[in-house]
Structure 1
Amino acid sequence: MTEPSRSHTEILDLTVGIVSAFASHNTLQPEDLTKLISDVFSAMRDAGREKTARVQPVTKASASEIRRSITREALISFEDGKPCKTLRRHLTQKGLTPATYRAKWGLPPDYPMTSPAYSEQRSQLARSLGLGQQRRRRKPDGASDET
């Protein structure tokens, strides 16, 4: 036997084993069984082949594009060009993390994930609520400040 026919035979044996195990535990219609056999066989055949990697080339943003993407009110996404106050939520919907987004577009590690105006707004809100300040000890009632 030649190498390709033996490989074909091995794939056929594996397909028979998988389909028979599946069919013994599940109810199948006859037309579904033929589709299952062909699907399993093609999957087994393709699994043995070396696939060429479909890696997207890393698209590096130029320095001027990076500068233009950061505006006072919003950050412009390199993924789809939409302006966002915070990129984290937008990237999560695209299935990306900030680190993978920065790596994909060749952005520096300190590239912001929130717009400057939004950061200032949140900072002012936190200050007005007293966050980040040590709590001042209250003096008991009746105690005077003078000693």
Structure 2
Amino acid sequence: MEKEQNKKTSSLNVLAIAGLQPYQKKTDEEYMNEKQMLHFKKILETWKNQLTIEINHTLLYIQDKSTNFPDPIDRAAQEEEFSLELRNRDRSRKLIKKIQETLKKIKDKDFGYCNSCAVEIGIRRLEARPTANLCIDCKTLAEIREKQMAG
């Protein structure tokens, strides 16, 4: 069940789910114009709707499969399965929150620029990760710092 859901909600598949092709930027086109903003808004809204459907599906799945097994091992296995499902749905809820924040940035016309250095994030990076808020250079530096702090 989980593998099927991950296929549905990966950001790269959202383009297909939304019925969109990768954005073809014209040579003299201004970055993050209305057309591009609409492109990303549609991607994000479709992704959010798909995640919401999957969250609801998980709740129905748990309610449907919920059985009071007399055997403690069976009961423990079921509880573990439900725990994993709920943990995945919690991640989905957090992602929905991030998508909503990104949609607000689109509404405020503040989308597509790095939060750290204000450089353009780039169309391809945003299509791969529509909720990205750092350019690739700043993200790489942040990951290096994170590894140094952990190590």
TM-score of the two chains, using structure 2 as the length reference? 0.23
TM-score of the two chains, using structure 1 as the length reference? 0.24
User: RCO greater where, 1 or 2, for CA within 8 Å and sep 6 or more?
Assistant: 2
Give 1 or 2: higher helix fraction. Answer: 2
Larger Rg: 1
